[in-house]
Amino acid sequence: MTVRILAIETATHACSAALSVDGAIAERYALAPRQHAALILPMIESLLAEAECTVTALDAIAFGRGPGAFTGVRIAASIVQGIAFAADRPVVPVSTLAALALGGMRESGRDQVLAALDARKDEVYWGAYRRVADDRVDRQGEEVVAAPEQLAVPEAGDWVGVGSGWEAYGTALMQRFDARVVRLLPDLEPRAADVVRLSAGEFAAGRVVSAAEAIPVYLRNNVAEVKRRIPSPSGRGSG
């Protein structure tokens, strides 16, 4: 049976949508600060039209649930909820940090990644991941938002640092992780293609939620403050 999963990722400056049809993935991607709300629906429509697929023909909808910019994460959740409600389809929430890590593994050819997104306030959104199979990663410890000097140092081995947190706080992060990090990819952004890759195994295992349960993960509790501070969908800051 053909499996069709639509995914979106809007938690950072990048905006993307991807459609997987039995593992064959098509993607629309743009590095477009403050344009997520305008771009994401046309991206979805383009992918569905190209595949001659309707939302009711989808098996599931996946999304980057965060952490990331408050407004961007909220956009993804609200759009996915709307589609899932309308089409009566399950949702697969995927960690934005995990998607970023998978992209880093593919780009670097290595199996251990320290994913960091700039969280502003001298902090990063942080997660350590190890590849355990094709398109499957295992989180090492919890995802956190913290200052670089408060982050736990992973066990011995070679790690790749990926994401905007390494660009914003590279000096502080390298002071703490220098002995572990063998390569940096600070410009790498999370992509919907990696969200949909990670969602396939979750969907197959039945780890899905209803549209009403498709909620963002911010890591910070003071999202109201962040909402006031970030007026646009692209801010790197957040929540």
pLDDT of residue 46: 98
42 Cβ contact partners less than 8 Å away, ≥ 6 residues apart = none
Alpha-carbon torsion (172, 174, 178, 180), positive or negative: positive
- The Cα–Cα gap between 235 and 69 comes to 6
Asked if the model's pLDDT at residue 227 lies above 70, the reply is no
Asked if the model's pLDDT at residue 193 lies above 70, the reply is yes
Computed over every residue of the chain, the mean pLDDT equals 92
**DSSP codes of every residue in 69-106:** -HHHHHHHHHHHHHHHHHHT--EEEE-HHHHHHHHHHH
**Phi, psi dihedrals of residue 139, rounded to the nearest 5°:** -75, 135
Nearest CA to 14 out of 189, 161, 164, 166 is that of 189
What is this structure's pTM? 0.91
Fold of 4-95+190-229: Nucleotidyltransferase; domain 5 (3.30.420)
Fold of 96-185: Nucleotidyltransferase; domain 5 (3.30.420)
Give CA angle at 13 (9, 17), nearest 5°. Answer: 25
Of the pLDDT bands very low, low, confident and very high (cuts 50, 70, 90), residue 48 is: very high
- Residue spans of the domains in the chain: they are 4-95+190-229, 96-185
DSSP code, position 152:
P
Q: Which two tokens stand for residue 14?
A: 């990048």
Asked if the model's pLDDT at residue 107 lies above 90, the reply is yes
Between 230 and 84, the higher pLDDT residue:
84
Rg over alpha carbons for the chain, rounded to the nearest Å, is 17
102 Cβ contact partners less than 8 Å away, ≥ 6 residues apart = 129, 131, 135, 137, 194, 197, 198
- The Cα–Cα gap between 150 and 154 comes to 13
pLDDT of residue 190: 98
- The Cα–Cα gap between 185 and 180 comes to 15
| Identical fold, 4-95+190-229 and 96-185 | yes
Of the pLDDT bands very low, low, confident and very high (cuts 50, 70, 90), residue 155 is: confident
The answer to whether 97 and 118 are in contact (CB under 8 A) is: no
